[in-house]
Amino acid sequence: MPRGSGKQVTPARQEQRRLLFDMTGQHDGESLRQWDPKAEPLVDALLGIASTGAAVFVRPGSGGRALGIAIWEGDTRHPATWFYEAEELDEWALKILKRLGDDISQAAD
């Protein structure tokens, strides 16, 4: 019978995980969680990029008030595109879907 990895979650590790999201303190201003992007086009765009073999990296910025999306195609790293409002993210997703064209609908068939 295979043995487990032997990793145990210690109380210190549990506390570290719990504190992870408390590092930046409270934000009274706008945050990404308050955005209302059009989820379906965004997910379609991200999956469409990934289906081409490129890597997609999504990361927060500006203290959690912005979102950056970077694309790697092989060894080519495209600069991250930063979004500060949900509308910008919606426009980007639609632009990516337009570039992908019919590739997404063909992949679904």
Does residue 5 lie within any of the structural domains? no
Does residue 1 lie within any of the structural domains? no
SS3 23: coil
Distance CA 102, CA 109 (A): 11
Distance CA 16, CA 10 (A): 10
Does residue 43 lie within any of the structural domains? yes
Does residue 36 lie within any of the structural domains? yes
SS3 91: helix
Q: Which two tokens stand for residue 62?
A: 């500006």
SS3 64: helix
Distance CA 71, CA 59 (A): 12
Does residue 54 lie within any of the structural domains? yes
Range of the domain at 57: 30-108
Residues pairing with 83 in the sheet: 67
Does residue 77 lie within any of the structural domains? yes
Does residue 3 lie within any of the structural domains? no
Predicted confidence band of residue 18 (pLDDT cuts 50, 70, 90): low
Using a pLDDT cut of 90, give the percent of the chain over it.
49
Encode pLDDT of 60-108 as tens digits: 887 778 999 999 999 999 999 999 999 999 999 999 999 998 554 444 4
Encode pLDDT of 29-58 as tens digits: 567 777 888 889 999 999 999 999 999 999
Q: How many domains does the chain have?
A: 1
Q: Which two tokens stand for residue 87?
A: 């509308």
Does residue 13 lie within any of the structural domains? no
Q: Is the dihedral of CA 19, 22, 24, 25 positive or negative?
A: negative
Distance CA 93, CA 37 (A): 10
